[in-house]
């Protein structure tokens, strides 16, 4: 993943943010919407593109475009920095390979302990029954 190349491909759009804020909200476009197309990115190789399209399928549009937005700060520049960080965090998480699971067997002592516990419980429940009067 080439971050500099990806930074060149990003498209930003500033819109008015919602919520409280008085005149600042009504006048200034502080909310930043980031648009990134992983299919046509030169900063990703083919395997990375496939992995991103598969892992982020729920976050992509029908055209396989990723939209992220940020309106946490009252500053447009700060929101732009935050949304870029969020993009790279999302991409690195999507590209992370899951750790392979190793098959394990329970130890003999653990099996014996479990069976003894089961027998003890079964005996306890048998003792709760009505006594045999014969």
Instruction: Record the pTM.
Output: 0.69
In the structure encoding, which two tokens stand for residue 75, read together?
């500053």
- The answer to whether residues 39 and 57 touch, using CB atoms and an 8 Å cutoff, is no
Question: Which range among 27-31, 33-37, 66-70, 101-105 shows the weakest confidence by mean pLDDT?
Answer: 27-31
Distance, CA of 12 to CA of 34 (rounded, Å): 5
**Report for 23-27, 80-84, 108-112: range of highest mean pLDDT:** 108-112
Q: List, in order, residues 6 or more apart from 61 with CB less than 8 Å away.
A: 67
Average pLDDT over residues 70-75: 85
Q: Could you tell me the pLDDT band of residue 21, with boundaries at 50, 70 and 90? A: low
Task: Residue 73: count other Cβ atoms within 10 Å of its Cβ.
Answer: 16
Average pLDDT over residues 31-37: 91
Average pLDDT over residues 67-94: 90
Residue 88 belongs to what H/E stretch? helix 76-95
Residue 106 has a pLDDT of 94
């Amino acid at each position: 993943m080439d971050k500099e190349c990806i930074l060149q491909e990003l498209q930003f759009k500033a819109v008015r943010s919602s919520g409280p804020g008085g005149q600042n909200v009504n006048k200034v476009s502080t909310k930043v919407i980031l648009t990134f197309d992983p299919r046509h990115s030169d900063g990703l190789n083919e395997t990375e593109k496939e992995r991103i399209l598969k892992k982020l399928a729920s976050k992509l549009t029908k055209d396989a475009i990723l939209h992220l937005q940020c309106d946490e700060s009252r500053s447009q520049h700060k929101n732009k920095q935050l949304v870029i960080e969020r993009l790279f965090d999302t991409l690195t998480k999507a590209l992370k390979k899951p750790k392979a699971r190793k098959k394990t067997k329970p130890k003999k002592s653990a099996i014996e302990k479990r069976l003894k516990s089961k027998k003890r419980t079964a005996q306890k429940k048998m003792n709760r029954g009505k006594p045999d009067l014969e």
